[in-house]
Amino acid sequence: MADINISYGEDISGHVPEGDPATAWERRRDDYKLVSPLNRRKFKVIVVGTGLAGAGCAAALGELGYNVSSYTFHDSSRRAHSVAAQGGINSARARKVDNDSIHRFVKDTVKGGDFRGREADAFRLAEESVRVIDHMNGIGAPFAREYGGELTTRSFGGVQVSRTYYTRGQTGQQLQVSAHRALQRQVAAGTVNLHTHEEMLDLIVKDGRAVGIVTRNLRTGKISAETAHAVVLATGGYGNVFHKSTLAKNSNCTAAWRAHRRGAYFASPAYIQFHPTALPISSKFQSKTTLMSESLRNDGRIWVPLTAGDTRAANDIPENERDYYLERKYPAFANLTPRDIASRAAREQIEAGHGVGPLKNSVYLDFRDAKERLGVKVLDERYGNLFEMYRDATGEDPHEVPMRIAPGAHFAMGGLWTDYDQMSNIPGLFVGGEAGWAYHGANRLGANSLLSACVDGWFTLPYSVPHYLAEHLGEAPVDVADDVVVQTLADVQERIDRLMNIRGTVPTDHFHARLGEILYEGCGVSRNDSKLRRAIEEIRELRDEFYRELFVPGTGEQFNQELERAGRVEDYLELAELMCVDALDRKESAGAHFREEFQTDDGEAQRNDEEWCFVSAWEMGPDYSHIRHAEPLTFEAIELQTRNYK
């Protein structure tokens, strides 16, 4: 088995204000230094990524009067992957008479994350959630409404109240369009300089501070650098490391991973969420999985045939021969259990021989009862575009036959480590959205992703970044002729040349597909010691083969998508090892990290709070070794407890 080289560094602090976590954000905001309106134009901030976090941050800073450079590898900011989170966005506005509150929101979030996230972060998320809905509604997001005009809500997994605001099944798309318009307004005003078709390939660090980035123009191949007073990374998550995931094919970890190589800590990489309502893989030639929104679990019932190996069509199986296993095992939450529990339960049914479909790799999501209760018109009002998408993908009508769903690699709870101000351990490097680790702990509750991105972009970074900038008034950005900039440019060019000059015979996607197979088997829905060690060994062997056999056609000085993919897969091959190392190191089960050695007698996750109640923040050693730092976690408002959804 693989030799694992782990060393342990000093504990780190999240710099959370002391005292009541419920008031930490209010007190922290009052302590932030301010930059006067006349001085704001003297500062430049680079924001990488134009999803909800990046577009919101760039638009807000531009509106405040700072000079912002915004980067995206898309042709338009509206193409960012935030469009894919369609089900809804949570908020503790408590407009329904169902006894919701900020405290309940925090409890659901902390508990849902299995007590492996910061309690104070969850309070900020809840507090700002009220402003987020009002703000997004104000800038044009067409939220669904009650007959009298009030915004309406629905429920999502892991909660027993109705706090999820939505726009049919298009919430992420509509929020992204609104954020895109706000960003373009600042582009037109001249406060934001938007760079499209530019991919960040390195972080420039001088005297321990982040001072700029190196990018490659995807159309021309030109490598260039830009410096600034601060850098914000809002570049999304790394679920595509699994190859077949619910993410868009261009979603990647490169910007965050290159920052990690420059010294930024990477937190909780093993915490990967497997979405329970993805469409099952139908062929090994399939390029990705398709996500069906979790909102469908409001009205759809999940079941499998009671008898293993049953080959009858779904509608031919009578009621008494169906196992509604989530309703049976978790009666209090039923089909709205958190995603990690629902995915693990589905995987258990499939592996026990109860899987359905041509490949026996899925379970049913059935709208028969909802159709009888509500009617087709109401179902189409709530989920019409999702039903259409399912029909287009499968050729089956969910009104007539149950959907088939299966767990698919989805959201990354891990990411670059940041403190309470959302600044990494590298001063001047801030992180927003899924690129960071904040809020979600070991498992993200549904409809908290759009919220966390909006909170970061509109209502956290526009406070914390100026606080950092205030200490650097009168300083100019580093000159692009500076030695550290020139050296970083040279490092990027050398890396590109190395990939181009391998001149093997195997295309990039072969290595990515093989890596996905290794991870699904070794670091998937469930893990154990031997699986993880074998996965690390296989990843290292695959990485060696990558550097021997990779073939990248063309040149680096042109539009070259194979070169783009090669660089991203090279990063995945390093990240994948760290994911497995983190999972191997954490000797407990928590949320999406389910170690088979650590489970209760009835098969539930077994945390070890005495030894593992901390965030693992990994540093890359000079010899590519793994150095683990720990940020201890404390819980004052929400008492540590075993998760129970029964």
Report the distance separating Cα 215 and Cα 220, nearest Å.
12
Has residue 121 been placed in a domain? Answer: no
Task: Identify any residues that bridge with 362 across adjacent strands, giving them in sequence order.
Answer: 356
Mark whether 163 is an active-site residue. Answer: no
**Residues 217 and 197 sit within 8 Å (Cβ to Cβ):** yes
What would the mean pLDDT of 423-432 be, rounded to a whole number?
A: 98
The CATH number of whichever domain residue 311 belongs to comes to 3.90.700.10
Task: Identify any residues that bridge with 472 across adjacent strands, giving them in sequence order.
Answer: none
Q: For 71-101, what is each residue's pLDDT tens digit?
A: 999 999 999 999 998 889 999 998 888 999 9
Task: Identify any residues that bridge with 264 across adjacent strands, giving them in sequence order.
Answer: none
The CATH number of whichever domain residue 613 belongs to comes to 1.20.58.100
For 207-319, list the strands marked E by DSSP.
209-217, 223-227, 230-233, 266-267, 272-278, 301-305
Has residue 512 been placed in a domain? Answer: yes
Has residue 537 been placed in a domain? Answer: yes
399 and 289 co-located in one domain: yes
- 294-300-303 Cα angle (round to 5): 105
Residue tagged active-site, from 78, 339, 527, 568: 339
Is residue 324 predicted with pLDDT exceeding 80?
Answer: yes
387 and 497 co-located in one domain: no
Determine what percent of the chain is predicted with pLDDT higher than 90.
94
608 and 518 co-located in one domain: yes
What b/e sequence results for 480-502 when a residue is b if at least 16 CB atoms lie within 10 Å of its CB, and e otherwise? eebebbeebbebbeeebeebbeb
**Residues 264 and 426 sit within 8 Å (Cβ to Cβ):** yes
Reported confidence tier of residue 554, pLDDT bands at 50, 70, 90: very high
402 and 286 co-located in one domain: yes
Predicted confidence at residue 94, as pLDDT, reads 80
Report the distance separating Cα 142 and Cα 135, nearest Å.
12
502 and 595 co-located in one domain: yes
387 and 498 co-located in one domain: no
Among 370, 392, 408, the domain-final residue is 408
Mean pLDDT estimate for the chain: 96
Reported confidence tier of residue 274, pLDDT bands at 50, 70, 90: very high
Has residue 107 been placed in a domain? Answer: no
Has residue 506 been placed in a domain? Answer: yes
Among 408, 443, 475, the domain-final residue is 408
Q: For 580-627, what is each residue's pLDDT tens digit?
A: 999 999 999 999 999 999 999 988 999 999 999 999 999 999 888 999
Number of compact structural domains in the chain: 2
Has residue 218 been placed in a domain? Answer: no
Report the distance separating Cα 342 and Cα 406, nearest Å.
10
Among 378, 408, 438, the domain-final residue is 408
What would the mean pLDDT of 523-541 be, rounded to a whole number?
A: 97
393 and 494 co-located in one domain: no
What would the mean pLDDT of 219-247 be, rounded to a whole number?
A: 97
Whole-number Cα distances in Å, 54 to 59, 61, 457, 462: 8, 11, 6, 11
Q: Are strands 209-217 and 198-206 parallel, antiparallel or unpaired?
A: antiparallel
Predicted confidence at residue 2, as pLDDT, reads 64
Has residue 565 been placed in a domain? Answer: yes
Has residue 440 been placed in a domain? Answer: no
Is residue 1 predicted with pLDDT exceeding 70?
Answer: no
494 and 604 co-located in one domain: yes
Q: Which domain does 544 fall in, by range?
A: 489-632
285 and 377 co-located in one domain: yes
Q: For 179-198, what is each residue's pLDDT tens digit?
A: 999 999 999 999 999 999 99
**Residues 326 and 335 sit within 8 Å (Cβ to Cβ):** yes
493 and 399 co-located in one domain: no
Predicted confidence at residue 95, as pLDDT, reads 83
534 and 626 co-located in one domain: yes
What would the mean pLDDT of 270-282 be, rounded to a whole number?
A: 95
402 and 493 co-located in one domain: no
